[in-house]
Amino acid sequence: MTNAIVQFHILDQLGTPMIPYVAAWRDDGLDIWYEFAGHKLRALLGSGQGDLAQAFRESLISRCMYRKLGSPPAIIKVVRDRQQLRHLRAALRSMAQQGETVEAVYRLDAHGEPMWFKDFARVEAFEEDGLFLSFGTLADISKEVMLEEELKQAKQELVSHRDQLTVTVAHRTRKLRQAQLEVVTRLAQAAACRDQRTASHLNRMSRYSKLLARAAGIGDHAATVLFHAAPLHDVGKLGITDLILHKPGRLTEEEFAVMKGHCRLGADLLDGQGSDLLRVAQAVALTHHERWDGSGYPTGLAGGDIPLAGRIAAICDVFDALTEERPYKPAWTFAQAAEEIKRQRGCHFDPELVDLFLGNLPALYRIYRGQAC
């Protein structure tokens, strides 16, 4: 033992950052004392000539150990605070006696500043004296631990910022969508107003469109997009001259050609790298006058070449227009309008959509009557 203390003393005098120590205890008591301790330990704990072991206990904030547990073994971090350690002292000493080596990290209060020391010790038993000696070194790892703590805190702040950012982006996206919807709705109303159509026409035909889309197996989100896009079908009429748009009598061939231009005008108006809503609205604006048999306008698309949104909007727009009173015709009854849709099956309209439309007349009737569905 004396040799070891001499060697530790030399090590201490070398000015190494390690603090060597030799701690001792008897197997019949709880008291521990230092046979030797590097001078830095006493200076750090400010124990003067007092009991160093006592000063160490009073400065101790926590003790951390890593243990292999479970199968397959996982490394578990076990942290005990000062209060817990007071009760566990005997048990920990017994574990050290059995394990022979001890590796732990102590957090100490050194003059009000937290410091961390890694302790690596080998325990030897001197049975004839009933004595146990722990030959160890304490390494100051405060800088490493504090850097690790700062890194952990920075990571937490980063996660917190990211979460906050996600919430903010979601909130702003929602606001942006609402604003876009507002603008689009007013644009549709402006076009309807100029065309002397009613807001209720837009309201009903968009609800018919959503219902038919759902019946055709379109998901709720996409059907809702169509619900908002459908009222824009005639937005291109904003670009048609009043002389033609509000002409009381029949349009000449040339005037009708100009009127047909509202499809492309609307599509151009809604063109751009916009949202789903604008893309669907553009498709509806461009193709709501195409016919299943290819005799429609502006392109003469036929059958499945006509976008589904355009085929749905075509049925719903015509159906609602028939049930509305116009300067040149009285309002058709619900049944008469449904009969006309049936009559145009495979000519003007997609036959499958017509079947779905006619298969959902009760729900369509509730919309027609202004009831919620």
Q: In the 8-state DSSP scheme, what is residue 250?
A: P
CB 90 within 8 Å of CB 29: no
Decide whether 140 or 317 has the Cβ nearer to Fe ion: 317
Decide whether 134 or 209 has the Cβ nearer to Fe ion: 209
Distance in angstroms (rounded) separating the CA atoms of residues 82 and 61: 5
Give the H or E element holding residue 76: strand 74-81
| CA distances in angstroms from 316 to 232, 323, 342, 360, 365, listed in the order given | 13, 11, 13, 13, 13
Decide whether 32 or 353 has the Cβ nearer to Fe ion: 353
Beta bridge partners of 18: 139
237 classed as catalytic: yes
Cis peptide preceding 298, ω within 30 of 0: yes
Decide whether 133 or 263 has the Cβ nearer to Fe ion: 263
Residue of 118, 237, 247, 342 marked active site: 237
No. of H helices and E strands in the chain? Answer: 15, 7
Decide whether 132 or 368 has the Cβ nearer to Fe ion: 368
Distance in angstroms (rounded) separating the CA atoms of residues 208 and 215: 11
CB 25 within 8 Å of CB 132: yes
In angstroms, what is the minimal distance from the CB of 154 to Fe ion? 58
Decide whether 119 or 234 has the Cβ nearer to Fe ion: 234
In angstroms, what is the minimal distance from the CB of 160 to Fe ion? 50
In angstroms, what is the minimal distance from the CB of 244 to Fe ion? 13
In angstroms, what is the minimal distance from the CB of 251 to Fe ion? 14
DSSP 286-354: HHTT--TTS--SSS---GGGS-HHHHHHHHHHHHHHHHS-BTTBPPPPHHHHHHHHHHTBTTTB-HHHH
Interaction mask 226-255, Fe ion, x per CB under 5 A: --------x---------------------
In angstroms, what is the minimal distance from the CB of 182 to Fe ion? 21
In angstroms, what is the minimal distance from the CB of 230 to Fe ion? 9
Footprint of Fe ion on 88-147 (CB under 5 A): none
Per-position b or e across 347-358, b if 16+ CB within 10 A of its CB: ebbbeebbebbe
Number of residues that bind Fe ion (CB under 5 A): 2
Phi-psi region of 217 (alpha: psi -120 to 50; beta: other; left: phi over 0): left
In angstroms, what is the minimal distance from the CB of 297 to Fe ion? 10
CA angle 348/184/271 to nearest 5° reads 70
Distance in angstroms (rounded) separating the CA atoms of residues 21 and 27: 19
Interaction mask 299-338, Fe ion, x per CB under 5 A: ------------------x---------------------
| CA distances in angstroms from 273 to 56, 270, 310, listed in the order given | 69, 9, 20
Contact between 290 and Fe ion by CB under 5 A: the answer reads: no
Decide whether 12 or 317 has the Cβ nearer to Fe ion: 317
For binding to Fe ion (CB under 5 A), which residues are involved?
A: 234, 317
As annotated, the active-site residues are 237
